[in-house]
Structures are given as C-alpha cells and as structure tokens.
Chain A
Amino acid sequence: MKHTIKHLEANGLVTEAFASELKTYQANKPMSIFWHIRTLMYLGVTLLATGLGTVIYKNIDTIGHITIVGIIGLLSAGCFYYCFKNAAPFQPDKWASPNTWFDYILLLGVLLFITFEGYLQFQYNIFGDRYGTATIIPAAVIFGLAYRFDHLGLLSMGITLFASWLGITLTPKSLLMESTFSDVDAVQAGFILCAILIGAGYLGASKSFKKHFDFTYYNFGFHLGAIAVLVATFNFKLGWLWIFLIAPLVAGAFYYAKINKSFYALLCAFIYSYIAVTYLIIKGCISMGADSILWAYLLLMYFIGSSIFAIQFLRRTYKQMI
C-alpha cells in the first residue's frame, strides 16, 4: 500500500488528506491474528478428537474402556447441546455463527460422535452386519447438522460419508492413485453420486435453500464424475466410448464458471476437456497404426497448436469474465 500511496501522491492523483489518512491508518492498523486463532482452534479440536479416538482404539478390550467411551459420548452430547442452545433459529440463507468457538465446538462434537458410533458398532455390533446403515446414519446426522448450523466443513464430511456408503472413497489420493473405480459398478456408482450431488446443488440454488452450499456440491460432483469417466476410459474395453460422457460435465462447469465468474471452475473444466480430447486424438493415432516419425511430428505439432489455442481461449474467456 505504501508504494501506491507514494506514487499517487507524487503524481497528484490523490489529495493530501487521502494520502495522509491512509498512511495514518496503515501505521496504526493493528496486526490481525484472526487466522492464527482459527488455525489453532482447528488444530486443537483435531488433536483432541484424534487423541480420544486413539485412546478408544488402544483400550477397546480393557476394563476401563466403558468409562472412556461414556466420557466421549457425553462430551459429544455436550457439544451438540451447546450448539443447539446457542444457535439462532434455522434459516435457509447463510448466517454467521454466534461466536468464535461455535463452529469448532460443533466440529469437535461431530468428530467425537463418529468415534462414539464407530466404537458402538465395533464393540456391540449395534447395526449387525448392516455396515451400510452404520455409515449412512452418521452421514444423515452430519448432513442434518450441516444444514441446521450452516457449516460447509460438515457438509463436506457428510458428502464423503455418503460416498463411502455407496462404496466410493472420496480422497484425492484414493481417486487418483488407487483403483476406486475398478469395475463398471463402481463407475456407475460414481455417476449416480455425481448426478445426486450436482442435482442437490442445483435444487438448493434454485430454491434458495442454503444456496451457498451449491459450490461444495458441484465441486465434489464434478470431480467425481470427471474422474470416473477418465478412469473408465483408460481402463475399460472400448473405454474411449465413455469419454463422451465428460462433455455434459465440462459444459456444465463452463456454464457455472461464466455465470459465477469462477476461474477455478474454468480451469478444472479446461483441464478435463484437454485430457479427454488429447486422449481421443492419441487413441485415434494408435488405432490408425501410427508408428512412423511423421506421426511423432504431427503429435508434437498437435500439442503446440492445441496449447497455443488453449492459451488464447483461456485469456479470451478470462477477459470476458472479469
């Protein structure tokens, strides 16, 4: 800021009063530790919940475990009681938390609840062999809490649990490195989840019911669907037929990017579409028996030409969007 004020003042572009006001403000502005506080709160809650979870894990067959589990259950209930007691009545729009601690107490409550529920299932088999029920119940609870207390972090947790109920592990590493979509059933489950998530996001946005949740739904849904398509394309017999399914996803992402001026969505849509088109071209070359040096030249020219085109496209779209 200091360089800008100096430059504008030296060139007579701002009044002395303005420059002086900003300089004084800059000199006296207190240092904000807002994000330090939040990071430490998140770290503290995570450490506490992880520590308690590990205590349960290590003491699962010992005499004192009932007491520990009881304490965890009570702590979780206490956190939820605090949240329900202090929260404002439900609103379909975005609302601010009543105080700094609120979001983190809610998060701690949920993490302890998952530990508690996991223990009950392991030790007392409360859901029997219906492992799906053991997953979908906490997912439903977390979704409910995310909507009730307007918490995007819980929404992401709920989506992850819902996906695991469908048999899909939703972590970037598992999606990219492990064979999450190893068979047609898993890919189909991926598509179903993609459709549900995008549908939920669209419904919420169109009905103005937690409209600000739409990005989280779209983000999960889009990546899940696109990765499912790419994995199916690369691994399955006649896989290239799957690639066309990426078109509606990419079109949707471009549309979202344009409407919401989201450069993140623009970049994601662009990357997936570039991979899809490049794959089709290379696959086409291979199927045509391309084994001469001429094909190598042509492919390299494709990469150069397509990248130049893509740069122009990105820059043009960016200029249109700002």
Chain B
Amino acid sequence: MLGYDKKRRDNYFHFLEVKRWGKLKWIDEEALNKLVTALIPRYEPTNLFVSIGLFILTCIIISAGVGFAALIFIEVIDSNSGWFLSLVGALLLLFVLQKFVINEKHQFGSGADEATLYSSLAFFHLTFILLFENLFDSTLFISSFYFILLGVPAFIYKDRLLTAGAYLSLFALVFFLAYNIGGVMTLLIPFLLMGLSFFGFRLSEKRIDSSTDQATEQCWEVINWISIAMFYLSGNYLVVMELSKELGLADAFPLFVKIIFMILTAAIPLAYIYFGLVKRNLALLNVGLIAVALSVMTVRYYHSIMPIEYALILGGAIILGIVWLALKFWQEDKLGVTAKADEDLDSGLKIESLVLDQTFGKIDSTNTFSGEGGKFGGGGASGNF
C-alpha cells in the first residue's frame, strides 16, 4: 500500500506532544517514559537542521544516480525513449520511497522521504512533458495536470507542500477555465476565486474540527491559510486591476465594481483582524496584518499622498501607537486573547501524577492551575539552536 503507516505516523505526533508535556513539567519523568514506551511503533522524529541535511544529501544521491543512469543509457536515450526512461525513473523512485525509505527505514518528515517523493514527481512531470508536449501549450491543461500531479500524492502522503501546490493549481484551473469561456465569465473571475476561497475556508474549518489525525489536520490548515490569503488577493484592487490590464481588460470593469474592489481592499484586512481576535483564529489575524500592509501599498501605488520618508515615519508612529493601545488593552487577558507568550501560558499549568499505570491501576491525580504571568524581554534572537 502506498503512503505512510497511519499508526506509526499518529504515534509520531503523539510522541512529540507528550515530549512537550514532559518539557513543560505537566508530567513527570516516570509518566513520560511510560507514555513514550506505549507509543510504539512510531516514526522517529528528526531535528529540522538534520532534516535539511538529509534532504540535501538525498537530492545529491538521486541527482548522481540519474547522472549515472544517463551515462549508461546515453546510447538509447532519444526523443522517443526519453519519456519511458523518465517514467521508469519516477516509478523506481516511488518504489524506493515506499519500500526502502518508508517501510524499511521508517522515515517520516526526515528530509529523505520528501526528497525522494518530490524527485519522483519531477520525473512524472518530465514523462508527461515528453509524452504530451503539445498539450502543455494550454494553460487549462497545465493547471489541471498540476492539480492531479500534486493533489494525488498530497492525499496519499498527507504532504503540506504538495497540498498547497495542488490547491493553488485549483485556483489556476478555475481562473483559466473562466478566462477560456470568455465574455462575462472573465469579469467574474475575481468573484469566482473569492467564492472558491470562501468554500475552501468553510470546508477546511469543518475538516480541521472533525479530523481524526494530526497529519490530515495540518493539510487542512494549509488549505485554510491559503483560502484566507486568496480571498483577500482575489478582491485586492491592485491585483484585479493589474491582472485585468495583462488580460487586455483594462476598462472592462464598470465604476461601481471598481468601488467594490476598493472597499474590499480596505475592509477585508480589518475584518480579518477583527474576526481573528474575536474568533481566536491565528490564521485570520496573521493574514489580516499582512493584508493591511498590502492594502497600504495598494493605496500608495495609485495615490502617493505624501513623500515616502514621511509615510514611513507616520506608518511607524501609527504602528507603535497601535501596539501601545493593544498592550494597554491586553494588560489582562480579555476576549480570549492575551499578550503573554504561549510558553508562559503553558508553563503556568501545573498537573501532577496523571498517567495511568497500566500495571497497578490509576495513580491519584491532583491538579492546580497557577498562572505565572508573562515574562517579556529579549529583543534579540536567542542562542538556542
């Protein structure tokens, strides 16, 4: 069967979580060891920097292997056989990924598995380019092709990067579909994309809530973030107008539609920030803050109200003013929002003797919550790498 072993993958995430509990002293050493032992079999986690190293090295091995094969088959490679060899390469890499990297070496998120998967997809890509070269002139075909090429492995391997690629391909597909239909559909493109984003957002919200494992949830979170960003970008005045010019539709939008885009450009970031704070949704808040900067740039692109230096000073002063107000407002936790760091909140939770001893039954548990308050400071980067 293709893909990762679900049990091992789930235990991988549970292992990371209980290690975090141990670090926060929510559970003692003994309890941690019991849980770690119980979470077997699992994929072993790898440090980010080690993963980067393994990713680079696996890419080197694959590139050198391809070079080696190319030297051996140099006599038989021509325009007719190239696609076949490329397909063989893709299937071979997929086999190595499944049989050796995943099943035997139990790699998950280690860099080695991602490098093999992406290389295999690159070969599949090459195969189709060599086979259907003519079809790659059609933007509609290209976007559909990428949607399937990235979407299928994203679903099988629950890979966030592939999920993002497949979802963006879907946006491209809708865009080119409407553009190819032409007429009024061309003018409806921004609204179609906003509709797709909204649908993606609602669906991802539901799926995040109902997901049964961490890997699936993370993929839906990616869709959630992209939906929020695309909803804003699809209605951004600068993006819509500049794209319209590119498509030869410079004056196609009537004035009232342009006004709608202006309103959307100004209102969406503020709505994101508001709902981000009220609904405690970090994705909305983060995209909203970035969107504010993009909206300011949009306004400056069309109306340079003041010289750049004064705009910078004013912008800096406004931002610091907002921060001052925010800090004043959130001196104490309000509306489910706090200015304290996540780590400070987590370390405030004190729980003792909580793990069920499978041999001797339950250990009595007592728990207390003692907020320690926020610790601030450290403007520079910490040295903890």
Contacts and interface: CB of A to CB of B under 8 A. Distances in A.
Contacts of A104: 379
B376 A21 contact: no
A293 interface: yes
A314 B57 CA distance: 10
A153 B377 contact: no
A289 B57 CA distance: 28
Interface residues of B, number: 91
B375 interface: yes
Contacts of B26: 22
Interface stretch (A185-193, A222-230, A244-252, A264-272): A264-272
Main secondary structure of the interface of A (DSSP, over half): helix
Interface stretch (A11-19, A175-183, A231-239): A11-19
Contacts of A315: 50, 54
Interface stretch (B233-241, B250-258, B303-311): B303-311
B312 A54 contact: yes
A303 B309 contact: no
Contacts of B217: 3
B68 A300 contact: yes
Given A212-B383, A263-B50, A314-B54, A11 B38 contact: yes
A54 B53 contact: no
B259 interface: no
B309 A51 contact: yes
Nearest to A213: B383
Interface string B341-385: 110010001010011101000110101010000111111111101
Contacts of B10: 3, 7
Contacts of B48: 263
Contacts of B281: 31
B136 interface: no
A48 B317 contact: yes
B35 A12 contact: no
Interface stretch (A35-43, A127-135, A136-144, A165-173): A35-43
A198 interface: no
Q: Of residues B61, B308, B336, B380, which shows the largest number of chain A Cβ atoms within 10 Å of its Cβ?
A: B380
A212 B18 CA distance: 29
B316 A31 contact: no
B76 interface: no
Nearest to A146: B380
A258 to B, nearest CB: 14
A263 to B, nearest CB: 4
B53 A267 contact: yes
Interface of B: 10, 13-14, 17-18, 26, 34-35, 38, 46-50, 52-54, 56-58, 60-61, 63-65, 67-68, 71, 112, 211-214, 217, 277, 280-282, 285-286, 289, 307-320, 322-323, 326-327, 330, 333, 336-342, 345, 349, 351, 354-356, 358, 362-363, 365, 367, 369, 374-383, 385
Given A44-B320, A47-B312, 19 more contacts: A31-B282, A32-B340, A32-B341, A33-B285, A34-B342, A34-B374, A37-B323, A46-B316, A51-B313, A55-B313, A99-B376, A102-B377, A103-B380, A263-B50, A303-B64, A304-B68, A311-B57, A311-B112, A314-B57
15 contacts: A1-B17, A13-B355, A15-B354, A21-B354, A44-B320, A45-B316, A46-B316, A48-B312, A48-B313, A52-B313, A103-B378, A263-B48, A265-B385, A267-B49, A267-B50
